[in-house]
Amino acid sequence: MVAGLPEPMRGPAIAHRVKQAFLADAIPGIVCRPTQACPEDGGQIGFSFPFRIGEERVRSAVPVCADQIESYVTPYEVMERAGASPRVVHPVLIDLRKVAAAAGITLGLIGSAAMQVVTGLDYVRPDSDLDVLVQAGTAQQLQWFWQEICDLKVRTGTAIDAEIDMQGRCGVKLSEYMSDAEVLLAKSISGVELIDRNKFSDETFSEVSFTETTSSLATKGVTQWM
């Protein structure tokens, strides 16, 4: 864990705090794209801690074997927890959930708000944005949802970063999808690729649920889903 910290964060004080937080608070790991050699049956998980050095959050990334993971929770399950919790994780999340429900869209929660829901620790700051995963059935649903969240941004001053779940295989930024770009950047657990917009249709958004894939938050050991 300490070896996975960025070089500027490897001092003894931070190392001690990282160990203490991981063991005492059960900080979960986040399945992420590998940046180093990983076991054949495993992958890489990132750890995001509820403290910073200046404005930079302390993070670590480590390779793991499959048998080192005790359980998983998906971004969609984290959103369900957020909705059921009496604690308001982010004031804008209530309105965002209502907008998604009206659009017929399923939301997954990622980023600092997701970490706060899972751990109960203070990851969210007053100026924190909201990071969500979007599962839609049609392009029309996405268009309506995009217009509504743009209005939410203006009214609340909160940045909302939404990523479209493309059948659980890759993700595309909703802002990019709603732009005039003819080629879209798609990110997956294994890399990135450019995809022609014409290849996207309503079938692209449905049929395969993200919850059927392994790109999720791994508990006990969530940075973002990819």
Q: State residue 195's pLDDT score.
A: 85
If asked whether residues 89 and 148 sit together in one domain, one would say yes
If asked whether residues 79 and 16 sit together in one domain, one would say no
Is residue 1 assigned to a domain? no
- The CA dihedral of 159, 100, 106, 72, to the nearest 10 degrees, is 40
Is residue 180 assigned to a domain? yes
Choice between 99 and 206, residue whose per-residue pLDDT is larger? 99
Q: How confident is the model at residue 216 (pLDDT cuts 50, 70, 90)?
A: very low
Q: How confident is the model at residue 134 (pLDDT cuts 50, 70, 90)?
A: very high
Question: Containing domain of residue 176, as a range?
Answer: 74-212
If asked whether residues 55 and 167 sit together in one domain, one would say no
If asked whether residues 141 and 55 sit together in one domain, one would say no
67 phi/psi in degrees, rounded to 5 = -75, 0
Q: How confident is the model at residue 211 (pLDDT cuts 50, 70, 90)?
A: very low
Mean pLDDT, rounded, for 141-159:
95
Q: What secondary structure letter does DSSP report for 28?
A: P
Is residue 224 assigned to a domain? no
Q: State residue 176's pLDDT score.
A: 93
Is residue 220 assigned to a domain? no
Is residue 221 assigned to a domain? no
Average pLDDT, the chain: 86
If asked whether residues 24 and 120 sit together in one domain, one would say no
Mean pLDDT, rounded, for 94-100:
95
**Range in 124-138, 189-203, 209-223 with the lowest mean pLDDT:** 209-223
Choice between 167 and 103, residue whose per-residue pLDDT is larger? 103
pLDDT score of 219 more than 50 = no
Mean pLDDT, rounded, for 199-219:
48
Q: Are 78 and 31 in contact (CB under 8 A)?
A: no
If asked whether residues 59 and 130 sit together in one domain, one would say no
Alpha carbons within 13 A on the beta-carbon side of 177: 28
Q: How many domains does the chain have?
A: 2
If asked whether residues 118 and 29 sit together in one domain, one would say no
Give the pTM: 0.85
If asked whether residues 99 and 188 sit together in one domain, one would say yes
Is residue 218 assigned to a domain? no
Using the 3D structure, point to which of 72, 89, 105 is the last residue of a domain: 72
Q: Are 185 and 173 in contact (CB under 8 A)?
A: yes
Is residue 109 assigned to a domain? yes
If asked whether residues 49 and 106 sit together in one domain, one would say no
Give 15-52 pLDDT, tens digit per residue: 999 999 988 988 999 999 899 999 998 999 999 999 99
